[in-house]
Structure 1
Amino acid sequence: MELTTVDLSVFALYVVTLFTIAMLVSREKAGHTKDANDYFLAGNTLPWWAIGASLIAANISAEQIIGMSGSGYQIGLAIASYEWMAAITLIIVGKYFLPIFLKKKIYTMPQFLEYRFDGRVRLTMAIFWLGVYVFVNLTSVLWLGALAVNTMAGVDMFYAMLFLCLFSIAYSLYGGLKAVAFTDIIQVVLLIFGGLFLTFTTLSMLGDGEGVISGLNNLMTRAPEKFDMILAPDHPHYVDLPGLSVLVGGMWVMNLSYWGFNQYIIQRTLAAKSLREGQKGIAFAAFLKLLMPIIVVLPGIAAYLLLPGLERPDRAYPELMLLMPQGIRGLIFAAVIAAIVSSVASMTNSIATIFTMDIYNKLGNKQHDPAHLVKVGRLVSLLSLVIALVTAKPLLGNFDQAFQYIQEFTGFFTPGIVVLFLLGMFWNKTTANGGLAAALGSAVLSFGFKLWWPQLPFMDRVGLVFILCGLLAILVSLVEQNKVQPKAIELADVNFVTSKGYNIAGVAVALILIAEYSAWW
């Protein structure tokens, strides 16, 4: 047992506080029964600060903290492109995608696809997302989270995963998205404070008693190869992050898919009080994303010097946690668990939303009672956790860098998804068959390139498949009908004008990114 009594007391206080707040925000007014909108979209009551915090809490989980730190240990600062490029992607999502989604008043991404195309597209994508969320996202969060618990507390991996499942159920199953989103405020504060403390402490260790700045300079001097943002073709990890593709290639496709069309991320913005409130929340999240590499990547690079020769890179962050002082170690442990259970709760809620609203609610002609749909959603949440618990070790137990595995696997499908949504929203001649051709063609083309052109970096493959899927969708649509579709989005009816504050935030994010890439080129 690596955690002391003080550490466990700090952690226990966090658990009790989180559970208490979740129960308070989940309470309903006398006489009101929680319906589907309350459970899956928090009754459209989320303010901007809850949206922004919840976006980050859902995103930053074990796959980022543990997995990305492991990639920082192995590759270096270049892996931070996933975080920094996400900031500008969020600004784009808030300006051009969110107005369309809120105009349609949707619950899920598959639901939007039926509004724009037809039921076949909705069902196909609903089944696809359920598979990815359960067998890729949920399993990875549980496995990597259990790795941290195992390292810190010596708990068996299976029981650690079971603990994470039960913890997430305890505070989120009853209250739904509202409980998740409002408790995410605590999660993010804890994550940022604990993460920054660990980063500053590890850098101070490298500073030989002369402070954080000295430690950073020492790290850059002794491991300069870890601070290349744009990797050269002869770099040993070029295949993971192929040069300029992180700026002008496949990285954009990956980020647009994740932040714009990913149910368990975008669901927070769909629950906003208003469009303006949702956009403010997205801008808040964009600035937090700029901070994340300091919390999740820099410690991994520091561990390269502090903990050389680790058997597995993904053990870098958990091992660093053991170097923290008593009490603070418990706080950082709570921060990591906070990030993990928040993502688990977010994923299970989104899995429940998609299954309930896109599959179960569409079966037969019966109009289901709203309270019944909430019960189905809770049952599906439980079932998804059981499946992920059983399959996590077989799927992820043999990977050294789980974060890279997740990116490559999802990269088989994301090009077609992005084409499907972009053309669906912004080209009124896109047909349902054209969209399906892009979505299904993405998997076929990606697997084909993987087999016959294995040396092609996966991010370049994502960019290439995106272009081919776009051409395929356009060709099918033109050959099939070549006319404006009856379900096309009327862009003239959508308000794309953003506030002055949002525009300033967008410019600020862009300038910060330019400065960061200029400094670390």
Structure 2
Amino acid sequence: MAGFSSIDIGVFLGYTFAIFGVAFWASRDRHNHDKNTEDYFLAGKTLPWWAIGASFIASNISAEQFIGMSGSGFSMGLAIAAYEWMAATTLLIVAQWFIPIFLQKGVYTMPQFLLLRFDERVRIGMAFYWAALYVLVNLTAVLYLGALSLETALGLPWHWGLVGLALFSVAYSLYGGLSAVAWTDVIQVFFLVLGGLVCSYLALDWVSAHQGAWAGFLRLWQQYPQKFELILPPQNPFYNDLPGITVLLGGMWIANLSYWGCNQYITQRALAARSLSEARYGILFAAGLKLLMPILVVLPGMAVYDLYYSGQSFFVQTLGATPQTLRPDRAYPALMSLVPTSLKGIVLAALLGAIVSSISSMMNSTATIFMMDIYKNLIHPKATEAHLVRGGRWVSLAAVAIAALLAPLLGSFQQVFQYIQEFTGFISPAVVAIFLFGLFWKPTTANAALAAVVATFPITIALKYGLPGLPFLDRMSLVFLALAYLMMLVTIWDKPLSLAVKQRLTIQAFFPLLPIALFGIRGWLWTDSVLDIRFPIGKSLMHFLAVFGLLTSLGMLRSLPPASNAFQWSKRLSLTTFAYKFWAGFILLVLVALYVFLH
């Protein structure tokens, strides 16, 4: 990205000074006292709605979206936008049903919620799961993709880019904790949206040979209609990544609920809200921004697809000239390298902001879970507030150092965004099952939750290697269903009931599985009809039967006594303003219109 103008340098320096200035302001010790754990890990519970919404997006949109999702847009087209658009719906559900209970209980972390609802075993087990996931998968992938983008766009050696990103993130966020992260995220989102729009406009303009962005969009629409399919048919080569109607009815919900409703480095922003109302409006703001994200991160990849297969030599050389050497994840950095002088500073600030905001968020959340759920409980129960804050800083440093050492191992994955979804899917079904049952099914016992934690990996691995052709989103649906029935079974046999009653309830609970199993076997073997479960009608019926059967099973167990620590839902928690309902309805209407129009 040679050829920076004085304007580019000024924009980038302005961005850097703004980040460090806001971080310094947010990190200062207030009220003449040193930071305690609430200050460091929850920003003193002072965040307004607009900072919460901005921080949700800045923490989410990183190199894995700008680079990874753009690469997936190159390969499979607009269908990958399902992750963004379905996330908007998921956020509305989280704001209405999840966050009120988390705030009411005053938790710092998701494992702490599991302690209140279940017991210490579940808390510790999931704390280790999450800490490992953030460091070994999320942080590692963000550092790898970020360094890759700087190498392609700037010519900066990959290892120097990796070190630079880690140091930049540590420098502005380590001392101030979540407060520094969240307030700087407001600036990050401004540059993220502005830079993303600039790059998308330029990409579409290049597609149309400088006839304008709209002309470029129309060319893509006319030349590559298959790239605008939101529901991929079974014959599509990327069906295993996005298996048709599953993106609306099946495993996509599990991935999204796990990420947006039970994920520490996302929900931590809402836990730091001034009030429930501020948290809800912040999440609503984030849901609105999610509608915009495919324009910023997917369309550029689709534009590069046209430029690549039109024979543009630069893109052919940069992405790879043969199918064996083709690297779709280089699509966005290749675009960045062609951005004209005077706009490069904005685009680079957008990308850098997206990367470092996610790194700092993951660092802080890893430290929060480790110090509050593992260290304080297993290692040093009498640790002071100051000791926990200092320890949190050291854990943040260790997390980013480990991720930096592991990042080179991702070089063998062609689409890193899909790598993240695939390996996150090993734990997502258990997370969603535990939280949904813990929140909404009062009889659930701690042993049932622990059984789900222990069983998720063996069940997932068995399906992954036993049915290698099964799309991973469909696999997540099956794992979730298996864990749900396992939790029901363990709950039944945990209750102080007679043997005859336990046997009767077990038969009642599992009876609704019979039509699901029969339909699944029929749809799998009889592949010459519309009821083939690979096709939309068959798969839709299968998902309907699964959901209906699960709800029927839970209904048959309504006589089970509630757990002593089950949550009581208050109608007061569900109250929202007319303005909130209006904008939530508007977002849902836009999503329905998009899928109806583009289906």
Q: TM-score range by the shorter chain?
A: over 0.9
Which residue does 2:516 correspond to in 1?
none
Specify whether residues 347 and 366 from structure 1 end up closer, same or farther in structure 2 by C-alpha distance, changes over 3 A only: closer
| Residues 309-350 of structure 1, C-alpha deviations (whole Å, 9 max, x = no match) | 422000000000112111211210111000000000000000
Which whole-Å CA distance do the structure 2 matches of 1:119 and 1:66 have between them?
39
Which residue does 1:97 correspond to in 2?
98
- The 5-angstrom pairing of residues 463-482 of structure 1 reads 463-481=477-495, 482=560
Specify whether residues 69 and 113 from structure 1 end up closer, same or farther in structure 2 by C-alpha distance, changes over 3 A only: same
Which residue does 1:2 correspond to in 2?
2
Which whole-Å CA distance do the structure 1 matches of 2:48 and 2:247 have between them?
33
Which whole-Å CA distance do the structure 1 matches of 2:287 and 2:157 have between them?
37
Q: Does 1:356 align with 2:356?
A: no
User: Which amino acid in structure 1 is aligned with residue 447 of structure 2?
Assistant: N
User: Which amino acid in structure 2 is aligned with residue 501 of structure 1?
Assistant: A
Which whole-Å CA distance do the structure 2 matches of 1:366 and 1:59 have between them?
33
User: Which amino acid in structure 2 is aligned with residue 335 of structure 1?
Assistant: A
User: Which amino acid in structure 2 is aligned with residue 432 of structure 1?
Assistant: A
Which residue does 2:175 correspond to in 1?
174
Specify whether residues 222 and 365 from structure 1 end up closer, same or farther in structure 2 by C-alpha distance, changes over 3 A only: closer
Which residue does 2:129 correspond to in 1?
128
| Residues 106-137 of structure 1, C-alpha deviations (whole Å, 9 max, x = no match) | 00000000000000000000000010000000
When structure 1 is superposed on structure 2, of 133-142 and 364-373 the one drifting more is 364-373
Larger RCO (CA within 8 A; separation ≥ 6)? 1
Which whole-Å CA distance do the structure 2 matches of 1:235 and 1:18 have between them?
44
1:445 to 434, 455, 459: 459
When structure 1 is superposed on structure 2, of 27-36 and 79-88 the one drifting more is 27-36
User: Which amino acid in structure 2 is aligned with residue 103 of structure 1?
Assistant: Q
Which residue does 2:354 correspond to in 1?
339
Contact 1:3 / 1:153 at 8 angstroms: preserved in 2?
A: no
Give the drift of 1:491.
1.6
Give the drift of 1:25.
1.8
Which residue does 1:232 correspond to in 2?
233
Q: Does 1:316 align with 2:316?
A: no
User: Which amino acid in structure 2 is aligned with residue 306 of structure 1?
Assistant: L
Question: TM-score, normalised on structure 2?
Answer: 0.85
Which whole-Å CA distance do the structure 1 matches of 2:125 and 2:373 have between them?
10
The size of the alignment, in residue pairs, is 520
Q: Does 1:385 align with 2:400?
A: yes
Which residue does 2:302 correspond to in 1?
301
Contact 1:3 / 1:152 at 8 angstroms: preserved in 2?
A: no
Question: TM-score, normalised on structure 1?
Answer: 0.98
Which residue does 1:107 correspond to in 2?
108
Which residue does 1:23 correspond to in 2?
24
Which whole-Å CA distance do the structure 1 matches of 2:237 and 2:271 have between them?
41
Which whole-Å CA distance do the structure 2 matches of 1:67 and 1:292 have between them?
13
Specify whether residues 494 and 445 from structure 1 end up closer, same or farther in structure 2 by C-alpha distance, changes over 3 A only: farther
Q: Does 1:69 align with 2:70?
A: yes
Which residue does 2:387 correspond to in 1?
372
User: Which amino acid in structure 2 is aligned with residue 515 of structure 1?
Assistant: A
Which residue does 2:514 correspond to in 1?
none
Which whole-Å CA distance do the structure 1 matches of 2:433 and 2:374 have between them?
23
User: Which amino acid in structure 2 is aligned with residue 473 of structure 1?
Assistant: M
Give the drift of 1:493.
7.3
Stretches of structure 2 lacking an aligned partner (at least 5 in a row):
310-315, 321-326, 496-559
Contact 1:198 / 1:299 at 8 angstroms: preserved in 2?
A: yes
User: Which amino acid in structure 2 is aligned with residue 477 of structure 1?
Assistant: T
Give the drift of 1:276.
0.3
1:326 to 341, 347, 350: 341
Which residue does 1:422 correspond to in 2?
436
Which residue does 1:279 correspond to in 2?
280
SS in 2 for 1:498: coil
SS in 1 for 2:584: helix
User: Which amino acid in structure 1 is aligned with residue 403 of structure 2?
Assistant: A
Give the drift of 1:367.
2.4
Which residue does 1:499 correspond to in 2?
577
| Residues 171-204 of structure 1, C-alpha deviations (whole Å, 9 max, x = no match) | 1011110111011111001000110111111111
SS in 1 for 2:573: coil
Contact 1:103 / 1:494 at 8 angstroms: preserved in 2?
A: no
Which whole-Å CA distance do the structure 2 matches of 1:364 and 1:321 have between them?
47
| Residues 25-58 of structure 1, C-alpha deviations (whole Å, 9 max, x = no match) | 2112352111100000000000000000000000
When structure 1 is superposed on structure 2, of 350-359 and 366-375 the one drifting more is 366-375
Contact 1:307 / 1:316 at 8 angstroms: preserved in 2?
A: no
Contact 2:125 / 2:453 at 8 angstroms: preserved in 1?
A: no
User: Which amino acid in structure 1 is aligned with residue 53 of structure 2?
Assistant: G
Which residue does 1:517 correspond to in 2?
595
| Residues 435-459 of structure 1, C-alpha deviations (whole Å, 9 max, x = no match) | 1112222211111011110101001
| Residues 347-385 of structure 1, C-alpha deviations (whole Å, 9 max, x = no match) | 000000000100111136742211111000000000111
| Residues 180-236 of structure 1, C-alpha deviations (whole Å, 9 max, x = no match) | 101111100100011011111111122234322111101111222211110000011
Identical columns (%): 52
User: Which amino acid in structure 1 is aligned with residue 440 of structure 2?
Assistant: F
Which whole-Å CA distance do the structure 2 matches of 1:271 and 1:453 have between them?
43
User: Which amino acid in structure 1 is aligned with residue 96 of structure 2?
Assistant: K
- The 5-angstrom pairing of residues 156-167 of structure 1 reads 156-167=157-168
- The 5-angstrom pairing of residues 162-241 of structure 1 reads 162-241=163-242
User: Which amino acid in structure 2 is aligned with residue 519 of structure 1?
Assistant: F
Which whole-Å CA distance do the structure 1 matches of 2:151 and 2:472 have between them?
31
Which residue does 1:490 correspond to in 2?
568
Give the drift of 1:302.
0.3
Give the drift of 1:401.
0.2
SS in 2 for 1:495: helix
Give the drift of 1:468.
1.1
| Residues 445-486 of structure 1, C-alpha deviations (whole Å, 9 max, x = no match) | 111011110101001111111111111111110111143111
Contact 1:121 / 1:436 at 8 angstroms: preserved in 2?
A: yes
User: Which amino acid in structure 2 is aligned with residue 182 of structure 1?
Assistant: W
| Residues 257-299 of structure 1, C-alpha deviations (whole Å, 9 max, x = no match) | 0000000000000000000000000000000000000000000
Which residue does 2:43 correspond to in 1?
42
Which whole-Å CA distance do the structure 1 matches of 2:252 and 2:32 have between them?
49
Contact 1:58 / 1:264 at 8 angstroms: preserved in 2?
A: yes
Contact 2:5 / 2:341 at 8 angstroms: preserved in 1?
A: no
Which whole-Å CA distance do the structure 2 matches of 1:56 and 1:365 have between them?
35
| Residues 116-165 of structure 1, C-alpha deviations (whole Å, 9 max, x = no match) | 00000000000000100000000000000001111122122111111001
Specify whether residues 292 and 37 from structure 1 end up closer, same or farther in structure 2 by C-alpha distance, changes over 3 A only: same
Specify whether residues 243 and 364 from structure 1 end up closer, same or farther in structure 2 by C-alpha distance, changes over 3 A only: closer
Which whole-Å CA distance do the structure 2 matches of 1:82 and 1:12 have between them?
33
Contact 1:99 / 1:494 at 8 angstroms: preserved in 2?
A: no
Give the drift of 1:248.
0.5
SS in 1 for 2:562: coil
User: Which amino acid in structure 1 is aligned with residue 364 of structure 2?
Assistant: N
SS in 2 for 1:397: helix
Which whole-Å CA distance do the structure 1 matches of 2:460 and 2:121 have between them?
22
Contact 1:100 / 1:494 at 8 angstroms: preserved in 2?
A: no
